[in-house]
Amino acid sequence: MKITWIGTGVMGQSMAGHFLSAGHELTIFSRTKDKASALIARGAKWAESPKEAAAGAEVVCAMVAYPTDVEEVFLGRYGALQTMQPKTLCIDFTTSSPSLALKIFKKASKNGVFSLDAPVSGGDIGAREARLSIMVGGEPSAFERAMPLFKCLGKTIIYQGEAGSGQHAKMVNQIMIAGTMMGMCEGLLYARKAGLNPERVFSSVGGGAAASWSLSNLYPRILKNDLGPGFYVEHFVKDLQIALNEAKQMKLVLPGLELAEKLYALLKAGSGARLGTQALIKQMETLQRDKGTEA
């Protein structure tokens, strides 16, 4: 199958690589060609724009950073929809706004193109090991057509509903993660202050009701002082702000989400933008120092 892939960041590079491993013909575009060098070395073709990359493709996928990037690569002057032919399948794996997903769906439909919003969860590890959770919005027939491709990337693949529903489901995911991350960091600070061994605490609580993906995958990184990105803080702030905007439109009051966004925004502003989300522990530690109660 001829597949176009747009965006070769932390997760996109691994995801695109799985399509190459499955024997698909891949054309790549990203803003920085160097980030696509490993895929090109494996046989992927390079294109100079999304528009060029999408020409002749059967499927066009994107995994970029921000909603503005999504809009540019699909709807912009050199966007992929400029050259996508009728019956082409368009899949956006980026975490973006539900309203933009619907906008792309409507534009694609006018051109006879089938569009799916399919944000993912699982971070760099899930992308690398092809066990992402994929949340999909769009037409059921397009979802069924895309299923063999989704199976190259993930283990949990669930159709959520009409266009934009995948993005709404991802907002639920991010809201839950935000609360879990705050609780996990506060629990670690408490353990330290109480004189406990954090690794022994993890052994106890990791198998009980407090168990979570973040605890299993990110708590050990914190203990090793590994704050590298599986998912960038700046991208998580973007997601939390989208969720807050959507909640506001639905007249929902979500105080936990509001607090998480403030803490992560402070972390981002304090040179933590390109760290992983587990770097929230640094912001929590800063709060302790500011109040003179360092753990």
Pairing of strands 154-161, 89-92: unpaired
Residue ranges of the chain whose pLDDT lies below 70: 293-295
pLDDT at position 10: 87
Catalytic one among 51, 103, 170, 238? 170
pLDDT, position 89: 98
- For domain 168-290, the question of CATH label 3.30.230.80 is answered with no
Q: What is the pTM of this model?
A: 0.94
Return the number of other C-beta atoms located less than 10 Å from residue 48's C-beta: 10
pLDDT value at residue 230: 87
Domain coordinates of the chain in residue numbers?
A: 2-162, 168-290
The token pair that represents 27 in the structure block: 């054309």
In the structure encoding, which two tokens stand for residue 275, read together? 């760290």
Q: What is the pLDDT of residue 223?
A: 97
pLDDT at 295: 62
pLDDT of residue 291: 84
| pLDDT tens-digit series, residues 52-100 | 999 999 999 999 999 999 999 999 999 999 999 999 999 999 999 999 9
pLDDT of res. 293: 64
Q: Is 33 a catalytic residue?
A: no
Architecture of domain 2-162 in this structure: 3-Layer(aba) Sandwich (3.40)
DSSP code at position 132 = E
- Burial class of residue 30 in the structure, from the number of CB atoms within 10 Å of its CB (0-12 exposed, 13-18 middle, 19+ buried): buried
pLDDT tens column, 270-295: 999 999 999 999 999 999 998 876 66
